[in-house]
Structure 1
Amino acid sequence: MKIAIVGASGHIGSAVVREARDRGHEVTPVARDASSLGNGVDADVLDRGSIAGVLTGHDAVVLAVKGPETVPAAVRTLIDVLPGIGVRRLLVVGGGGSLEQAPGRRFVDSPNFPKEYLAEARAQGEALDLLRAQGGALDWSYASPPPVHLVDGERTGAYRVKAGDAPISGADTRITIPDFAAALLDTLEEGSFVRERFTAGY
């Protein structure tokens, strides 16, 4: 599979690049400054003309960007651009704050949600809303880690995934970044969770 990873210089994006290459996929790492990436491409996902040229010819696009202003704008751009260049598969690496701690009650809306992550979590929730409302021309998936416990660590391969707006439940609700990256690649390879949000954890 030929996969473009937008935001490849970030913590999660770089883990997805490694996982995809380890599985033998043809990977195009994309970042605003790709100088540190092997075979990386400089491109701004918000520049529709340049990003369309970079993403043309790929089987799938993984979006792994951050920033309260960048995330919804990037999703909106790809919703508009990808159908016109013949790319249907989009996997958005989203946040866990918009998962629900109870039906209709998101973690991000709790008064105890950490203020330093509030703007980012709300932006990630807006991106999911955009996909659900306007992403009908794409085979999109939106991946949420656990609400808090996405951690550094080893790749174990022993994670669980499920569709929906509730986090994985159980005694150990964290997941390491390498395992989260592996769950993302599983989703692309299996063609699962199309037009769905899913989450992963132990």
Structure 2
Amino acid sequence: MRVFVTGATGFIGSAVVRELLDAGHQVTGLARSDTSAAALTAAGADVHRGDLADPAGLAEAAASADAVAHHAFIHDFSADFDFAAACAADLRVIETIGAALEGSDKPFVISSGTALLQGGRVVTEEDTPAPGSFGEVRGRSESTAVALADRGVRSASVRFSPTVHGLGDHGFVHMLIGIAREKGFAAHVGDGANRWPAVHRTDAARLVRLALEGAPAGSRLHAVAEEGIPFRDIATVIARHLDLPVRSIAPEEAAAHFGWLGHVVGLDVPASNTLTRKWLDWDPTGPELLEDLEEGHYFKN
């Protein structure tokens, strides 16, 4: 297949590009800078210059491809990040690509997250964000994409674990390590029993490829290798590698200690991958999160 990939030079997207190329597919990646374009060329992919604010360009690239994998999202982890605006921009991209693919039966895979679902229990691929919840804002992109199955698009949503880990990760775990260094201790909220799912970057990329190749139209898939790791276990490994103590903080202290991450560190969001395994021949084989932390590469800078 000729696959158009947005977010093609990001942490997950670049792994997806490599996975697709290694499987014999052709890839065209969206690049908005010379640096991104050079990285795609070096990887063996073609380049489509543009960005998410260019609907005509996105539609053209999507229509000329056999499949689309949408992994770009406006990530700005500053204090004034407008999450709702970023979600609205993402929804516009999905609507644009969906219109370009309508009636083609082409695969269209988008990115979402398991942490958007109601916590406190093991959620499945059949669960959706609760009405009026924080997750529903981001979930509009997913529901729009899934609904494209009724318009002749083989759409699917890959819900990534809150922790997609591996060499080069600058996501949540990397941030937690930085906060521990700054504060002088690794913290968890309350008893730290709240659980986070995790998946290695290579396993996540393989799932995206399998979804493009054969996911059922309108399906929701869970890029989850570990159903839920107690947060205190993550904090404990971080503390040991940094030679720092581990401390419990009260929920009301989370925002002051973790900044904007204070809204997510206490979430209990375990997730199942049972249906994903049933629908696709996906068997995670990468290292688990705590094993990956023990490798030491997260602590080298």
User: Fold-level match, TM-score > 0.5?
Assistant: yes
Q: 1:130 aligns with which of 144, 161, 165?
A: 144
Which runs of 5 or more residues in structure 1 are unaligned? 111-117, 155-170
- Give runs of aligned pairs for residues 162-181 of structure 1, distance below 5 A: 173-181=197-205
Cα 1:172–1:105 change in 2 (3 A) is: closer
Give the drift of 1:30. Answer: 1.3
Amino acid of the structure 1 residue aligned with 2:154: D
Matched, 1:99 2:114: no
Q: Which structure 2 residue ranges, 5 or more long, are not aligned?
A: 75-85, 169-194, 226-301
The equivalent of 1:70 in structure 2 is 89
The alpha-carbon deviation at position 52 of structure 1 amounts to: 2.4
SS at match of 2:24: coil
Query: Which residue in the other structure is 2:276 paired with?
Result: none
Equivalence map 1:45-84=2 (5 Å):
45-67=52-74, 68=86, 69-83=88-102
Deviation at 1:132, TM superposition (A): 3.8
2: distance between equivalents of 1:105 and 1:194? 17
Write the deviation string for residues 115-140 of structure 1: whole angstroms up to 9, x where unpaired: xxx6xx55431201222445521110
Match of 1:162 in 2: none
Q: Distance in 2 between matches of 1:145 and 1:186?
A: 14
Given that 1:139 and 1:195 are in contact with CA atoms closer than 8 Å, whether structure 2 keeps it comes out as yes
User: Counting helix residues as a fraction of each chain, which structure ranks higher?
Assistant: 2
Cα distance change, pair 17–79 in 1 and its aligned pair in 2 (3 A): same
Task: State which of 156, 164, 167 in structure 2 corresponds to 1:150.
Answer: 164
User: How big is each residue's C-alpha offset from its partner over 1:129-188, in whole Å with a ceiling of 9 and x where there is no partner?
Assistant: 222445521110000012x2221259xxxxxxxxxxxxxxxx993101111001111122
Letter in 2 for 1:50: G
Distance verdict in 2 for CA 1:178–1:80, change over 3 Å: same
- 1:106 deviation in Å? 4.6
* TM-score, normalising length: structure 2: 0.51
| Equivalent-residue separation in structure 1 for 2:128 and 2:94 (angstroms) | 24
Over 3 Å counting, the alpha-carbon distance change for 1:126 and 1:140 in structure 2 is same
Query: What does residue 37 of structure 2 align with?
Result: 35
Distance 1:9 1:42, change over 3 A: same
Aligned partners of 2:136 and 2:196: how far apart in 1? Answer: 25
- Identity value in percent: 24
Query: Contact between 2:110 and 2:145, CA under 8 Å: does it hold in 1?
Result: no
Answer yes or no: is the 8 Å Cα contact 2:148–2:155 preserved in 1.
no
CA distance in 2, matches of 1:122, 1:8: 26
Q: Which runs of 4+ in 1 moved over 4 A?
A: 102-107
SS at match of 2:158: strand
2:111–2:157 contact (8 Å) kept in structure 1:
yes
Show the counterpart of 1:19: 19
Cα RMSD (Å)? 2.9
Give the number of aligned pairs: 174
Paired letter, 2:60: G
> Between Structure 1 and Structure 2, whose CA radius of gyration is higher?
2
Aligned equivalents of 1:87, 1:105: Cα separation in 2: 24
Quick one: distance in 1 between partners of 2:53 and 2:137?
15
Structure 2 residue 212 is matched with structure 1 residue 200? no
Deviation at 1:72, TM superposition (A): 1.4
Q: Assess if the C-alpha contact under 8 Å between 2:164 and 2:201 holds in 1.
A: yes
